[in-house]
Amino acid sequence: MGGEWLVPEKARLIEVKNPADGSVLAFVPRGNKEEIDFAVKAAKKAFLSKEWKMFKPYNRGRLLYQVAEIIRENKEELAKLETLDVGKPLGQAAVDVEIAARYFEYYAGIADKILGETIPVEPGIIDYTVREPIGIVGHIIPWNYPLQIAARSIAVSIATGNATVLKPAEDTPLTTLKLVELMEPLGLPKGIVNVVTGYGFEAGAALSAHPDINHITFTGSVETGKRVMESAAQNVIPVTLELGGKSPNIVFADCHEEQALEWVLKSIVQNAGQTCSAGSRLVIEKSIKEDFVGKLSVMMEKLSIGPGIDNHDLGPVLSKKQFERIQSFIELAKQDGIRIATGGERKLVEGSELGYYLHPTILDNVPASHHLAQEEIFGPVLTVTTFETEEEAIEIANGTPYGLVAGVWTENVGRAHRIASQLQCGQVFINHYGAGGGIAQPFGGYKKSGFGREKGLEALRNYTQVKNVALKY
């Protein structure tokens, strides 16, 4: 914070555990309201400083390019740290590292191209707009993709000239801390980027309620997002919320079956299904359902399961709490007589008995209105619902409280565009599927998936404010 690594006197500590085997990786300070206040004040001082005001946009861009380079120079260490902290396979963590570098590259190229407009008003008046930094930005980082989301938060914030305070998830703070450490020698003014570790109900709540914060970006649950909104409302500041999803892959009989199977599988097992944009619903034409689900089950059963550091196909879920939540949904399926096509059981991994591993699971013939097809499970659990007409497919796809991502699988281009135009979600992928990545593609949701957009040029709207200037001559 404020350019220094500080541990509060009499600091209480948080254990950071390895999901693969339950071992303790590290201890980090349990920051609270006082530490958040210190970090926000440091950010405000830096933001208002002459040094930062004179830090030219192209120099911000050069610095962001340097961050991308230093991430790649340390890619093996960062990938290993992300895997140990989150539990995901090492190959997936390596992709996360590259995506983090790409965020810094992308916004480096934008830093000196944040333009205003001239507006024709009337003769004798020159009217123009400028986009100015919004100020002090608070970022509350989720536990499932900490490096990616910390990178996109820091990169766009610096590119637009803001100062940042990050609160990483208490479960997975290590790569955020390492990223900021790697940035230290690059010449960024002290206090422009600050990190406070701690619990959401303490440090996170204090950040979202702080009167000197000018914008809050939050990724997490709907209930916590509501509390963040309530806190921000007290200070009349904007928020960007990404609150999860129940995203469908809509598969028609004329799909390219091999590609559809591959992506339906990837979109539910990536990071053990702990992905907000996971393709957690298979909405499939009735005539091909039995064959498709049979082949998908076989593919799931062939996946290797074990510690992420050994680069298995599927790592553990994050914690006992997360595992028990997923299991409660599977138990509900059993109670309601829903067929489990494959999976549904814990996987005991020799040498990692304290890790929470789960066989990837398919819940077959789930009614569209059932709790299992409506609520985010956040694990490697796929629900299957059938349709017979295009209209029914759209109704089922739109029939949840969420609206984040959807995939459409058909060789009929007209149908693909018709459906895309009627889906109530922030991203639609036709004959492929995006989970993570997509640096240039605006990302965010409809309905209870939140509002505002991250990624791409659209994200600049969150971190800048428009000033209109009119000169009479």
Same domain, 72 and 197: yes
The CA distance from 233 to 236, in Å, is: 5
Instruction: Look over the chain and give the mean of its residue pLDDT values, rounded to a whole number.
Output: 96
Same domain, 85 and 125: yes
Indicate whether 48 belongs to any domain. yes
257 is catalytic: no
Same domain, 257 and 182: no
Indicate whether 443 belongs to any domain. no
Instruction: Name the helix (H) or strand (E) containing 27.
Output: strand 24-29
Residues above pLDDT 70, as percent of the chain:
98
Question: Residue 436: pLDDT above 60?
Answer: no
The CA distance from 40 to 447, in Å, is: 31
Same domain, 227 and 268: no
Same domain, 231 and 277: no
Q: Take residue 320 and report the two structure tokens written for it.
A: 């006992």
- Domain with 141 in it: what CATH number? 3.40.605.10
Average pLDDT score over residue span 444-471? 96
The CA distance from 249 to 292, in Å, is: 13
Same domain, 419 and 312: yes
The total number of structural domains that make up the chain: 2
Same domain, 410 and 323: yes
Indicate whether 223 belongs to any domain. yes
Indicate whether 445 belongs to any domain. no
Closest C-alpha among 311, 379, 373, 308 to residue 346: 379
Whether 135 and 19 have beta carbons less than 8 Å apart is answered as no
**Annotated catalytic residue: which of 35, 242, 285, 454?**
242
Whether 450 and 238 have beta carbons less than 8 Å apart is answered as no
With cut-offs at 50, 70 and 90, classify the pLDDT of residue 3. Answer: confident
Question: Residue 1: pLDDT above 90?
Answer: no
Instruction: Give the model confidence (pLDDT) of 365-424 as tens digits.
Output: 999 999 999 999 999 999 999 999 999 999 999 999 999 999 999 999 999 999 999 999
- CB atoms under 10 Å from CB of 298, counted, come to 11
Count Cβ neighbours within 10 Å for each residue of 96-125 and write b for 16 or more, e otherwise.
bbbbbbbbbbbbbebbeebeeeeeeeeeee
- What's residue 341's pLDDT? 98
Whether 325 and 378 have beta carbons less than 8 Å apart is answered as yes
Indicate whether 388 belongs to any domain. yes
- What's residue 6's pLDDT? 76
With cut-offs at 50, 70 and 90, classify the pLDDT of residue 9. Answer: low
Question: Residue 437: pLDDT above 70?
Answer: no
Same domain, 128 and 17: yes
Indicate whether 65 belongs to any domain. yes
Indicate whether 66 belongs to any domain. yes
Residues above pLDDT 90, as percent of the chain:
96
Is the pTM for the entire model greater than 0.85? yes
Indicate whether 54 belongs to any domain. yes
Closest C-alpha among 179, 217, 232, 224 to residue 199: 224
Could you tell me the residue range of the domain that residue 167 belongs to?
A: 13-243+450-472
The single-letter DSSP state of residue 189 is: P
Same domain, 164 and 310: no
- Domain with 258 in it: what CATH number? 3.40.309.10
